[in-house]
Amino acid sequence: MSRLIITGKRELHGEIPVQGAKNGVLPLMASSLLSHGVTVIDNCPDLTDVRAALDILRHLGCRAALEKGAVTVDASDVTCCEIPDALMRRMRSSVMFLGPLLARCGRAVITAPGGCELGPRPIDLHLAAMAALGADVREEDGSLVLTAGRLTGAPIRLALPSVGATENAMLAAAGAEGVTVITGAAREPEIRDLGALLTKMGVRVHGAGTSTVTVEGGVKAPFARHRALPDRIAAATYLCCAAAAGGELTLTNTDPDDLRPVLAALDRMGAALKTTGDTVTAAVHGPLRSPGTVVTGPHPGFPTDAQPLLMAAALRAEGTTAFVENIFENRFRHVPALRAMGADIAVEGRGALVRGGVPLHGARVEATDLRGGAALVAAALAAEGVTDLGGLAHIDRGYENLAGLLHSVGAGIERIDGKEPERWKTTEGRKTPAAREPAST
């Protein structure tokens, strides 16, 4: 059982290199199934979700490895078209293998994907896209069985701009015969990046990253190599940590253009921001002010994944900040833990009202999802005393070395892996975090 022990009220100073994008790398890895040769993806973070994707690829018969930040997949032999439930449940992106598997094998058998519990996360749009390309979709003994002699390009109209459904439709269309036009597509940067790799694989793709994507099927190149884009949510995480803790933090290997809505919110809060082509520096000295109302929406709107993080930063801002969550029904699961740290937050339906400037204190809390867990880290950096954070399996799905990187810029953060040391136990049970020795930094 791993935990983070975080001593708050220490400013962050220095530089953090931003990892490659989790949500970019996973569909890139799925695209490797379309090739009868080798695909290499550089700038790949070592995450449990990436390891789950490697396990799926190996189960399907590919040779797949992550070494020194590069994933290499040899998909010359795909020997299986069924992903067992235990692999499907390890992450949401397991569903991303549906389109390429169906295109490659003419059959795909899956179950419901796992992932963060953020409210209902149906896959109806993914299945409708496969049906539009000619697949027969049935449920048999709790599994979804999709078959298609050969997928054929067709118009696909997405009822809402789902990121995953857009990617899955592009992947299936890349392996289909003929031209597919996806309208109502999501415009997230990760989709632009998927289009870039598919293009390197010889597929003709136009408009990836806009609301109309055209894909002319046919993977021609036996080898493709691509560098995954920087993780905009990991970048937002470190910026919100800097806002919460104060100090001056520079992020390298990042793309300020993809961070615009987050940078705009931090600017309204009074952070001094400087950007170059691939760096962002945030200086936060003195009090922050509320950014006003923050409304999440599909890209280029404010990203839902950054909402819990900005909420943590807003806790130390003067004034009231309103959050409106428009993407997922249940994305305020971090609020009870923030309240346990002293935060004043009222939640009603899809809205949350944060009264900032209330002193925070350390507490023993648990992460309940990936970004909510990272938000607890940011809040702990602003809190007086020691926070003891568990539920790290959620955080490990999306962040490579979060604690080590924050520690390197001055945060009081230490990761305890394995059994809890005896010295932390009292005869009555566990000591409260506040009573513990401060974590060494």
Q: Which of residues 11-70 bind ligand EPZ (CB under 6 A)?
A: 23, 26
Tell me: does residue 231 bind ligand EPZ (CB under 6 A). no
Instruction: State the nearest-atom distance from the C-beta of 127 to ligand EPZ, in Å.
Output: 7
Of 49 and 74, nearer to ligand EPZ (C-beta) is 49
Tell me: does residue 124 bind ligand EPZ (CB under 6 A). yes
Instruction: State the nearest-atom distance from the C-beta of 339 to ligand EPZ, in Å.
Output: 22
Instruction: State the nearest-atom distance from the C-beta of 435 to ligand EPZ, in Å.
Output: 33
Instruction: State the nearest-atom distance from the C-beta of 277 to ligand EPZ, in Å.
Output: 25
397 contacts 24 by C-beta, under 8 angstroms: no
**Which range binds ligand EPZ by CB under 6 A, 69-77, 123-131, 214-222, 270-278?**
123-131
Could you say which of 105, 116, 240, 241 is catalytic? 116
Of 133 and 163, nearer to ligand EPZ (C-beta) is 163
Tell me: does residue 104 bind ligand EPZ (CB under 6 A). no
Q: 29 — phi, psi (to 5°)?
A: -65, -40
**Considering only residues 10, 90, 92, 333, which one is a binding residue for ligand EPZ as defined by CB under 6 A?**
92
**Considering only residues 6, 41, 345, 370, which one is a binding residue for ligand EPZ as defined by CB under 6 A?**
370
**Considering only residues 90, 364, 371, 394, which one is a binding residue for ligand EPZ as defined by CB under 6 A?**
371
Q: Which of residues 233-292 bind ligand EPZ (CB under 6 A)?
A: none
Instruction: State the nearest-atom distance from the C-beta of 197 to ligand EPZ, in Å.
Output: 15
**Considering only residues 25, 123, 265, 354, which one is a binding residue for ligand EPZ as defined by CB under 6 A?**
123
Of 124 and 267, nearer to ligand EPZ (C-beta) is 124
**Considering only residues 231, 255, 258, 305, which one is a binding residue for ligand EPZ as defined by CB under 6 A?**
305
**Considering only residues 103, 116, 245, 383, which one is a binding residue for ligand EPZ as defined by CB under 6 A?**
116
Report the residue closest to ligand EPZ, judged by CB. 164
Which pair of tokens denotes residue 272?
A: 């001094």
Of 165 and 213, nearer to ligand EPZ (C-beta) is 165
Q: What's the rounded Cα separation, in Å, for the pair 370 and 351?
A: 20
Tell me: does residue 105 bind ligand EPZ (CB under 6 A). no
**Considering only residues 14, 17, 122, 359, which one is a binding residue for ligand EPZ as defined by CB under 6 A?**
122
Q: What's the rounded Cα separation, in Å, for the pair 394 and 375?
A: 12
Tell me: does residue 398 bind ligand EPZ (CB under 6 A). yes
- Give the β-pairing of 272-275 and 280-284: antiparallel
Q: Which of residues 173-192 bind ligand EPZ (CB under 6 A)?
A: 186
Q: How many residues bind ligand EPZ (CB under 6 A)?
A: 25
Instruction: State the nearest-atom distance from the C-beta of 80 to ligand EPZ, in Å.
Output: 23
Q: What's the rounded Cα separation, in Å, for the pair 419 and 346?
A: 36
**Edge-first strand listing for the sheet containing 143-147:** 107-110, 143-147, 136-140
Instruction: State the nearest-atom distance from the C-beta of 30 to ligand EPZ, in Å.
Output: 11
Tell me: does residue 328 bind ligand EPZ (CB under 6 A). yes
Instruction: State the nearest-atom distance from the C-beta of 304 to ligand EPZ, in Å.
Output: 5
Report in angstroms the alpha-carbon separations of 102 from 63, 153, 171, 204. 19, 13, 10, 19
Mark 140-179 with x for binding to ligand EPZ (rule: CB under 6 A) and - for no binding: --------------------x-xxxx--------------
Of 202 and 297, nearer to ligand EPZ (C-beta) is 297
**Active-site residue flag, 105:** no
> Using H for helix, E for strand and C for coil, what is the string for the chain?
CCEEEEECCCCEEEEEECCECHHHHHHHHHHHHHCCCEEEEECCCCCHHHHHHHHHHHHCCCEEEEECCEEEEECCCCCCCECCHHHHCCCHHHHHHHHHHHHHHCEEEECCCCCCCCCCCCCHHHHHHHHHCCCEEEEECCEEEEECCCCECCEEECCCCCHHHHHHHHHHHHCCECEEEEECCCCCHHHHHHHHHHHHCCCEEECECECEEEEECCCCCCEEEEECCECHHHHHHHHHHHHHHCEEEEEECCCHHHHHHHHHHHHHHCCEEEECCCCEEEEECCCEECCCEEEECCCCCECHHHHHHHHHHHCCEECEEEEECCCCCCCCCCHHHHHHCCCEEEEECCEEEEECCCCCECCEEECCCHHHHHHHHHHHHHCECEEEEECHHHHHCCCCCHHHHHHHCCCEEEEECCCCCHHHEECCEECCHHHCCCCCC
- Give the β-pairing of 179-183 and 155-157: parallel
Of 217 and 398, nearer to ligand EPZ (C-beta) is 398
Catalytic residues: 116
Residues near ligand EPZ (CB under 6 A) are 23, 26, 92-93, 116, 120-126, 160, 162-165, 186, 304-305, 327-328, 370-371, 398
